Chains A and B, each alone.
Chain A
Amino acid sequence: GENVEQHPSTLSVQEGDSAVIKCTYSDSASNYFPWYKQELGKGPQLIIDIRSNVGEKKDQRIAVTLNKTAKHFSLHITETQPEDSAVYFCAASKAATSGTYKYIFGTGTRLKVLA
C-alpha cells in the first residue's frame, strides 16, 4: 500500500545550525507534499508545501526540495531557533480515481534545538 517513510525520528541541533528531515514516498502518483509542525499538546499546523511540478520552495528560513525520480522530499530549516523545537510531519497526497484524495503521513521527527 501507500507509504511515507520519514527520517530521522529524533534530531538535536545547536541553535543557529541547520536541520534537515527527509521523507520517501512509495506511490509515484503522489503530487502534493505538505510539511506540518506539531507543538506540544496541539494539533499539527502546515508550515510549507510543494507540488509535484516544482523542485524547490522556500519561505524565509524554511525550504522544501522534491526529487520525483527518487520519490523523496526534504525539509530544510536554517538558522534554527529554540521555538523551532517541535515534531515535524511530512505527508504525501494524490487524487484518487473517485475524485477524492487522501493524505498519508510520515511517522514524525522530534526536533530539539539546543540553546
Chain B
Amino acid sequence: NAGVTQTPKFQVLKTGQSMTLQCAQDMNHEYMSWYRQDPGMGLRLIHYSVGAGITDQGEVPNGYNVSRSTTEDFPLRLLSAAPSQTSVYFCASSAGGAYNEQFFGPGTRLTVL
C-alpha cells in the first residue's frame, strides 16, 4: 500500500492564482482531512470528510474548497491564493469512527508570493 500520497511536494504561486492540492489514499478509509501547519500554530484543521459526498468545515476553512467524489481522493482547492496561505499542507485519512489512527501524507509546501 502507498498509504496517503500528496502532490505536489512543493509549489510556488503568485497572489490571485488558483491551484488544487491532490490527496489520495489506498486504504479504503472513510475519513479524510486537510490541515495546515504554521510555525507556532500547530496543525489546524481546514476541511474534513467522513465519506464520499460528505464534507464539513474545520477551524480555518476560509479561502479553501473541497469535494469528495470518491473514497480515495480528497483534493483541496485554493481559488485565489493569498500570502496568508503560505504554509505546509497535510492530508490525513483514517478508518471510520472517532478512535482510529489518522495516517498523514508527506505534506505539500506552498509559498504564495
Contacts and interface: CB of A to CB of B under 8 A. Distances in A.
A43 B92 CA distance: 9
Contacts of B59: 1, 104
Contacts of B74: none
Contacts of B99: 32, 49, 51
Interface residues of B, number: 26
A107 B41 contact: yes
Contacts of B92: 43
Contact of B40 (A93, A94, A98, A107): A107
Contact of B48 (A91, A95, A100, A106): A100
A105 B104 CA distance: 14
A43 B50 contact: no
Contacts of B111: none
Contact of A43 (B40, B54, B101, B104): B104
Interface string A86-115: 000101011100111111111110000000
B40 A95 contact: no
Contacts of A41: 106
Contact of A100 (B41, B50, B106): B50
Interface of A: 1, 6, 9, 31-32, 34, 36, 41-46, 49, 51, 89, 91, 93-95, 98-108
Given A43-B104, A101-B50, A108-B43, 7 more contacts: A36-B104, A42-B107, A43-B90, A49-B99, A100-B48, A105-B42, A105-B44
* Top 4 closest pairs, chain A to chain B, by CB: A43-B104, A107-B42, A105-B43, A101-B98
26 contacts: A6-B42, A31-B98, A34-B101, A34-B102, A41-B106, A43-B107, A44-B90, A44-B104, A45-B104, A46-B101, A46-B102, A49-B101, A91-B43, A95-B98, A99-B50, A100-B48, A100-B50, A100-B54, A101-B98, A102-B58, A103-B33, A103-B45, A105-B45, A107-B42, A108-B42, A108-B43
